[in-house]
Structure 1
Amino acid sequence: MGRNGLDWAHSLLRVARVYARLGGLCAVANPARAYPAVPAGPLLWRSGHPARQLRQRRPRRTAHRPPYVSLIRLPVHQHTVAKTKASMKSFNNDWPLVSIVSVNWNQEQLTREMLDSLSHVTYPNLEVILVDNGSTKGDASRLKAEFPHIRFLRLEENTGFAGGNNAGFRMANGKYVLLLNNDTLVDPHFLQPMVNTLECDPWVGVVSPKIYFVDHQNTVQYAGTSEIHPITSRGQKYGYRQRDGEQYAKSGVTGLANGACMLVRKRIIDTLGGLPEIYFLYYEEHDFTVQLQRHGYVAYYQADASIWHRGSSSTGRGSTLKAYFYHRNRLLFVRRNQRGMQYLLALAYLFGIAYPKAFLSYALSRQWAHIRAMASALGWHLSRADIRPINRMFVPTR
């Protein structure tokens, strides 16, 4: 290489270093790939574990690369509005503490399997908090003896999904809190890409991984969603019940986090006061994500992390309990989050299309108990005239 070539290379190097100092270090297309990973050890799944057929992963290269190499090869996040010195932090060996919170209600065996899968996680700095939400079956305290490293909290009564998790949040000491359903099974390496995402981009408030069905390990349950529609109060689920493929391998900003597994900044939980307990069951993570977005953060789908989820294990698929809270909380979400013309259009859609459609479906299948549950859910709102829309004012919290 001639002298001119060397001068050109040195100039490019200086420009890249200046760009790194200005805060572009962590604003990469996939933050999880920009930093060294925890060396991947062997998969130590016990026999009978649904993820036992996973292939052995090759350890990722841990050699440090200069920041300007990543900057040259990877584009900048489109959603990153500002760069801060915090976004230039390099992990080195200083892993932030992650508090994993899971709630058990009458599901001792499922919770045991979840804790067993967590025991193989390679992330080096975490604590596990198990909340027994007033269980009336089994003895969840036996799990404490089987897994002595966990912190155990027993509540005297069932406070719902939101209340149980909030009790665990108050015990959490970590910089980040992972809300994890007790009917899940995790990949040993799932946590680090999610932590990397939050460490690299201060505008990301919550991260959810790719989620598969337990019974069909390569079938997607969650790969991101669209924004919640202001009228239907629902979002499109990307990849739901589809076979996994390249189209779901791209990480990025998403409309909603998934309540089965979401990693949240602890300071956001403290600011918002945790999950809204008025929902009790279903739609609370929707409301939480919307409030988080109103504070200027975004939700993120991390395709490099994966877990398996059964779904509806506590209530049962097609149960009247699920029907009651689903219909009640869908209207509750509208009352708390819509105003003006959008509020009127959302009510017109629910009472003109959604609820009549559900009623007709129950009637044709002779599910009279579900009709009574839906009527009871709507009747609940008649006694709650005090519910008002949440203040939409932007409140900067960084």
Structure 2
Amino acid sequence: MRAPQLSVLLVSWNTREQTRQCLESLAATADPELDYEVVAVDNGSADGSADLLAHQPRVRLIRNERNTGFAAAVNQAYRQATGQLILLLNSDVRFHPGALSRMIDHLRERPEAAGVSPLYLNPDGTFQQHYVRLPSFTATIALVTAWRKLPGFRQALHTFQMRGEDFSRPRRLASGSCMLLRRDVLEPHQVFDETFPIYWNDAVLARRLGQAGHELWMIPDAVVTHSRGASCRLLGPTIRFRHLLGSLVEYLRLTQPRHRLVVFRAALFADHLAKRLCGRPVQLGLTDLRAALRGDVGPLPDGDIRDWVVLFSPTRWSADEHPAVLAQLAPGQRLLFVDPPTRRPRWRSRVTPIGSAAWHAVAPTALPLGDRLPLVNWVNRRIAASALRGWLDRQAGARLLRLDDEQARPVLGRLGEDELLPAGVRPQPLDRSSRG
């Protein structure tokens, strides 16, 4: 059997609708005479993505029982691919007419080019800067700390992000979200270094290809729409940032002298301490921060990735009265029911499951009489929100905040919520295709 000209490597994790749109746009943009295959790896999705892929033409599906990470899944697909051209494709990418043909033509016209990426647009049609430029050491610190506000660090970050640069012409840039590569520039058994499960693997690939003298290009006349982060948003903030920071530490270990890694860790600890002292929210607790600074990204979530409806109620949970709240949940959602503060101080918090779709949260109460004194209520609610965010940050799924208790307004913005729901209104599932 003759090998196809092109192998498309597609990784899926709970992005069923985006995956469907991606494959439809791929079929529409491909020339009729193009012989291509799609090798898809589903990383244990719970939303029916694997079943969708199993019934798509040209798709060879590999089902993983668990979430192995993006890099490992790409390598898994690559080892099954047979094409001489390899297209790395995220499931949240949609091709515009002619985009794929233009990318293939670019490699035909430029034998020195190892790979090519398209121009990215956001779902609203605006330009999306989503390309790989290897960061300076100063830019890595600015990327993950408040030091970015200082002039030298701000300029380094803007340079890394290529703000204000011209993308109307072909550029020596690339993006792992949609990158067409010649197979002969890749290693025989892997595309990405699996030390970087989610983040920075494309930067490591670009660095390795650049060191070997290979050119990666971006061309503006091949256009795609990219929702950006459709799967990563489901990880939860703590898991997401720990992966970002832990992989960045590994990238610095790979590219920088040892003393700079010491400086980087000191800068992160100083930033963390300053935010704590100023009462600012931090993205990682101390235990997770220490692990990330060792390069330990931690496990990836599996299983349940339903959205959280976080309900602040003026009354405590009642087994007789409040199950009616569960009837208001839409499919694909979970309820976190939060009791109001007690009159007496209580320092321990507790979250317990109630069946398969609801959890009951008893948050700490720092000061007494919060139901009578507005300032005390404000303090108690903020402390409660901080405790609940610590718990939610370790859970996958988006957060929809609903305030049935008007005194709970101090929690706004403290839970990292994706959306504020009107009180008493039945929540509807989020359209994940709109999340960038």
TM-score by length of 2: 0.57
- Aligned CA distance change for structure 1 residues 360 and 219 (closer, same or farther; 3 Å): farther
- In 2, distance between residues paired with 1:282 and 1:268? 22
Shift of 1:266: 1.1
Structure 1's unaligned 5+ residue stretches are 1-95, 384-398
| Counterpart in the other structure of 2:190 | 273
- Give the one of 282, 293, 301 matched to 1:378: 293
Shift of 1:273: 3.0
| Counterpart in the other structure of 1:97 | 5
| Counterpart in the other structure of 1:131 | 41
Shift of 1:368: 6.3
1:236-247 paired onto structure 2 within 5 Å: 236-238=160-162, 247=166
- Aligned CA distance change for structure 1 residues 226 and 336 (closer, same or farther; 3 Å): closer
- In 2, distance between residues paired with 1:159 and 1:184? 21
- Aligned CA distance change for structure 1 residues 283 and 139 (closer, same or farther; 3 Å): closer
SS in 1 for 2:114: strand
- Aligned CA distance change for structure 1 residues 364 and 301 (closer, same or farther; 3 Å): farther
| Counterpart in the other structure of 2:215 | 298
Shift of 1:338: 2.8
- In 2, distance between residues paired with 1:314 and 1:360? 31
CA contact (8 A) 2:11 2:90 kept: yes
Residue identity matched to 2:77: G
SS in 1 for 2:166: helix
| Counterpart in the other structure of 2:79 | 170
- Aligned CA distance change for structure 1 residues 179 and 374 (closer, same or farther; 3 Å): same
CA contact (8 A) 2:238 2:283 kept: no
- Aligned CA distance change for structure 1 residues 373 and 142 (closer, same or farther; 3 Å): same
Residue identity matched to 1:128: V
- 1:110 and 2:34 correspond: no
- 1:202 and 2:111 correspond: yes
| Counterpart in the other structure of 1:253 | 172
CA contact (8 A) 1:103 1:182 kept: yes
SS in 2 for 1:344: helix
Question: What RMSD over aligned residues (CA atoms) do the two structures have, in Å?
Answer: 3.0
- Aligned CA distance change for structure 1 residues 364 and 103 (closer, same or farther; 3 Å): farther
| Counterpart in the other structure of 2:427 | none
Mean Cα deviation higher: 182-191 or 354-363: 354-363
- 1:329 and 2:247 correspond: yes
SS in 2 for 1:247: coil
Shift of 1:355: 5.4
CA contact (8 A) 2:114 2:214 kept: yes
- Give the one of 203, 219, 230 matched to 2:127: 219
CA contact (8 A) 2:246 2:293 kept: yes
Residue identity matched to 2:135: I
Structure 2's unaligned 5+ residue stretches are 141-156, 299-436
- Aligned CA distance change for structure 1 residues 114 and 381 (closer, same or farther; 3 Å): closer
CA contact (8 A) 1:213 1:220 kept: yes
- Give the one of 51, 62, 71 matched to 1:141: 51
Residue identity matched to 1:238: M
- In 2, distance between residues paired with 1:360 and 1:102? 42
CA contact (8 A) 2:88 2:180 kept: yes
More strand per residue: 2
- In 1, distance between residues paired with 2:88 and 2:52? 22
1:205-260 superposed Cα distances (whole Å, 9 cap, x missing partner): 2211111112x2123233x5544325545762235xx8xxx932110213xx2121
- In 2, distance between residues paired with 1:289 and 1:206? 10
- In 2, distance between residues paired with 1:196 and 1:132? 30
| Counterpart in the other structure of 1:92 | none
SS in 2 for 1:119: helix
- In 1, distance between residues paired with 2:28 and 2:99? 11
SS in 2 for 1:277: coil
- Give the one of 331, 336, 353 matched to 2:267: 353
Quote the sequence identity (%): 25
| Counterpart in the other structure of 2:205 | 288
| Counterpart in the other structure of 1:228 | 135
Shift of 1:154: 1.2
1:312-348 superposed Cα distances (whole Å, 9 cap, x missing partner): 2212187111101111011100112234xxx423542
- Aligned CA distance change for structure 1 residues 128 and 139 (closer, same or farther; 3 Å): closer
CA contact (8 A) 1:144 1:150 kept: yes
CA contact (8 A) 2:103 2:222 kept: yes
Shift of 1:271: 4.7
- In 1, distance between residues paired with 2:78 and 2:175? 17
Mean Cα deviation higher: 314-323 or 258-267: 314-323
| Counterpart in the other structure of 1:76 | none
Shift of 1:169: 0.9
- Aligned CA distance change for structure 1 residues 102 and 366 (closer, same or farther; 3 Å): same
- 1:186 and 2:99 correspond: no
- In 2, distance between residues paired with 1:227 and 1:380? 19
- Aligned CA distance change for structure 1 residues 230 and 144 (closer, same or farther; 3 Å): same
- Give the one of 170, 174, 180 matched to 1:263: 180
Shift of 1:297: 0.7
- In 2, distance between residues paired with 1:190 and 1:355? 45
TM-score by length of 1: 0.62
Residue identity matched to 2:248: R
- In 2, distance between residues paired with 1:158 and 1:367? 27
